[in-house]
Chain A
Amino acid sequence: MNERVDDVRASRLGAWLDHHGYSVVASLGRMLRKPWATLLTIGVMAVALVLQNVARLGGEVQASRDIAVFLDPALDGAQAAALADRLRARGDVASVAVVAPDEALARMRERPDLAAAIDALGEEAARAALPSVLRVVPRGDEGLLAESLAALPEADRIQHDAVWRARLDAWLRFGGRAVLVLAALLGLGALLVVGNTVRLDIQSRREEIGVLQLLGASDGFVRRPFLYLGAWYGLASGALALGILTLAWMALRQPLADLAARYGSDFALRGLPALPALLVLAGAGLLGWLGAGLVTGHYLRQTRPVGR
């Protein structure tokens, strides 16, 4: 005679792990059985996530907004270094770099048009004509700092296009806000995409869910494969988005660096470091899980027995 069913139950943890294992495999199977639909969903979500994370590739424009102080050509290197030390001690200065005439000459030689001019002028004459330059990175109000630097007796002239920088600041602020709004909208879009995909999957499996419920499946048992399905969609689209971002970074970083150099900026596109990349993956997976959870919860509430 068999033991009673209640006497042959697995431990709660064992049963829980079994159910999760089943859900993981079943949800993967559902994705793989419909490869084109799966690819489309993942593609749409990935595009949304790419746009949401594009802002992470930039972000070094602020660091390139320095003020160039051209010193009196009569000052030697030691005097330039002493002035740089004095400026570094100020609260409105983030950092100061000294560009000596030799270094400036070497940089100019890297540009073929200027190299020819240096050759025509003669190396020594060109060096003598070049002053030491301090590249000052402001902390706080750069307009006030620029005025203060221009008033220094050691300064011959400064290069700081206040109007241009004010416009750039305004554009950057607008861009930052626009990226935030876009990120929120696209995050919502990704949530809706996965929610709609899971809703369609639920609709196509209504009968199966109904049978499971009548056999005594808990809400968790019914919900779990759909949650994993949402998480798989999220993770896959996150991975695809990271791949697209990396390709975009590889394709754009050098041309953009060259372009920035033409404007005297050392702006550079950064790749996505490991930790933020992992956060993107985890966030995408969580987004998929959340979207699936919302839709499945709504469906389960609708299937409660009606009446008193």
Chain B
Amino acid sequence: MPAMPVLRFDNVSKLYPGGHAALEDVDFAVDAGEMLFVTGHSGAGKSTLLKLIQLAERPTRGAVLFGERNLAKVRGGRIAHHRREVGVVYQNHQLLADRSVAENVALPLVLRGVRRGEIGKRVRVLLERLGLGERGRSLPTQLSAGEQQRVGIARAVIAEPAMLIADEPTGNLDPTLSAEIMALFASLPERGTSVLVASHDLGLVKRMRKRVLVLDHGRLVDDIAPEDLADE
């Protein structure tokens, strides 16, 4: 019997006021521990798709299922609960400027009520792993763009979310750092975290040899398996 997908879009459409369709009849599933990319031109619907997963928006039609949870029915305090299960990496980092690197990274653990001593330990270990061991007490504004992005990634993965979504995570980074970050993402499925990366960098997407969803004007126009990537 196949495992239940961690995420499923069932004919999902999202219309904004004025009738603009950001997504139309999008249909796909993501397995637990799978890494995949979603790509497309600017305005193709990538960001809207990510917003639906983290419940920043709700679909106009269709259903977004996270495990067995229909996100359309999630209300009140359950919204926050759902968001704790989804780690998010933003292109512009979205770090809290008046808190140190360590405090930023610790936030998801604080929100999940982890013991204080355990939080400190995990933050130190993860920052070391990402080459930020000396930067724990720095403010985000004192870091380079690459370092800020790594802090954003550390914050997204520290609480071992069921799913990590990343919106153009390598947009401002040099190729070497991009490759390092992708390698980090690729290691997450070993811990059971599914990874969905939105990117318009086709070179990067091809190099990673993972499944790719292609969006165009809000429609899912292709779902390419890793083995078929070389032919595309």
Contact = CB atoms under 8 A, between A and B. Distances in A.
B163 to A, nearest CB: 13
A208 B160 contact: no
A9 interface: yes
A307 B122 CA distance: 37
Contacts of A9: 112-115
B60 A5 contact: no
Nearest to B88: A214
A216 B58 contact: no
Interface in A167-216: 207-208, 211-216
B107 interface: yes
Interface in B90-118: 94-96, 98, 107-116, 118
Interface in A265-308: 304-308
B116 A216 contact: no
A79 B16 CA distance: 96
A129 interface: no
A214 B112 contact: no
Q: Is the interface of A mostly helix, strand, loop or mixed?
A: helix
A303 to B, nearest CB: 10
Given A10-B116, A218-B77, A212 B57 contact: no
A18 B118 CA distance: 14
Given A216-B108, A218-B80, A308 B72 contact: yes
Contacts of A214: 54, 56, 83, 88, 94
Contacts of A211: 94-96
A305 B114 contact: no
B8 interface: no
Contacts of A306: 57-58
Interface string A71-112: 000000000000000000000000000000000000000000
Given A214-B56, A307-B60, A15 B77 contact: no
B36 interface: no
Q: Is the interface of B mostly helix, strand, loop or mixed?
A: mixed
Contact of B111 (A8, A12, A216, A308): A216
A213 B80 contact: yes
A297 to B, nearest CB: 13
A148 interface: no
A304 B98 CA distance: 25
A45 to B, nearest CB: 26
B64 to A, nearest CB: 11
B58 A305 contact: yes
Which one of A6, A218, A306 has the greatest number of beta carbons of chain B within 10 Å?
A218
Which one of A18, A208, A305 has the greatest number of beta carbons of chain B within 10 Å?
A305
Contacts of A217: 80, 111
Closest A-B pairs by Cβ, 6 of them: A307-B58, A216-B84, A15-B113, A216-B83, A8-B118, A218-B80
7 contacts: A5-B112, A6-B112, A9-B114, A211-B94, A213-B83, A215-B108, A216-B85
Given A214-B56, A219-B77, 14 more contacts: A2-B125, A5-B112, A10-B116, A15-B113, A211-B95, A212-B96, A212-B107, A215-B155, A216-B80, A216-B85, A218-B77, A218-B111, A305-B57, A307-B14
